[in-house]
Structure 1
């Protein structure tokens, strides 16, 4: 596969109308039993961004996910894309690149931004998140921040395109809420929730992108 040609084709597709919530809904987890998430928040959602960073390695297009460190929060210990909340005056691109630099040691000056996916509201943490898609053309050595990142998981982008890539199982959210969760399994880790929903939008787009 010619990585440069693939990246150029993907950039063009990201400029076209996006599948958006129709792709998100395919990976939406559903509560089991009477419990339902509370949808009312007392404050407006905070802006944030995550980074889907694509890079070639041994003929494969890969992307990093992180395991969040354990903390008192809604996403403690979860598998997610690098990212976080915006600082004052930042664009979503600046947020995504800065957070990736802080969390996995990305040299943001080397990242080629291709575009953005659909803005996504994360109910559990009251964030409006924009997924930014970027590429790097050379080998990458990641340096995870031990305070924010408990580890890095390396995804194979085209594994997401397999018919059997979408799985479903019952999971326990926040250690107490039963959910039936569509998910991807990446390096033995269950990737579900907002991260899976955002990745699925990219998955839908990739079905029309040339990988020759």
Structure 2
């Protein structure tokens, strides 16, 4: 995975297989003249468990906000004391689910993604852990931690689409992954779609 992440990434070719209807592209974002998006980062952890490779996502609490009750990777907004976005991703993972900074080996970035509804420009990072982490969720930010074998991504029967409500009382048709009964859609599904693309490439080698 590390060597593959150092090569050109599939980017929007993969991301937009799981994009909601009317989704802006990154090119649309840059051409819009928006100079002040919130910079943020997420951490996609990969670690050995049950003779396979696992990752984890989290269910956010139901509270006011654009991403209430949604599934996401650990992550959040860049803070002034963060050295860079990689540091942001690792710090947030420790704060939200208890993953220790010293345990994370960053393999590389996935493609950045702009989230219009919250004006965030998100940089995903893939990080390796040598063993399954001891997880401790922050109850203020995380309702549930969801672990899954990454081969779950390859099951076509777990993809579908439906209408999702948005926080501004509108709705949107979007594809989703069925993650153990949770519907993962939007930006997180788009990140997973790029990860899926890479996993399929690696398996074929």
Q: Which runs of 5+ in 2 are unaligned?
A: 23-28
TM-score (ref. length: structure 1) = 0.86
Q: Show the counterpart of 1:178.
A: 171
Q: State yes or no: 1:90 paired with 2:87.
A: no
Q: Which runs of 5+ in 1 are unaligned?
A: 1-9, 32-38
Q: Show the counterpart of 2:9.
A: 18
Q: Show the counterpart of 2:100.
A: 107
Q: Offset at 1:44?
A: 1.1
Q: 1:80 to 1:41 in 2, by over 3 A?
A: farther
Pick one of 157, 161, 186 that aligns with 1:168.
161
Q: State yes or no: 1:145 paired with 2:156.
A: no
In the alignment, is the contact (CA less than 8 A) between 1:41 and 1:126 conserved in 2?
no
Tell me the distance in 1 between the aligned counterparts of 2:182 and 2:150.
15
Tell me the distance in 1 between the aligned counterparts of 2:34 and 2:189.
27
In the alignment, is the contact (CA less than 8 A) between 1:154 and 1:187 conserved in 2?
no
Pick one of 27, 49, 64 that aligns with 2:56.
64
Aligned residues: 196
TM-score (ref. length: structure 2) = 0.89
In the alignment, is the contact (CA less than 8 A) between 1:53 and 1:135 conserved in 2?
yes
Tell me the distance in 2 between the aligned counterparts of 1:52 and 1:190.
18
Structure 1 runs of 4+ aligned residues shifted over 6 Å read 39-43
Q: Show the counterpart of 2:38.
A: 46
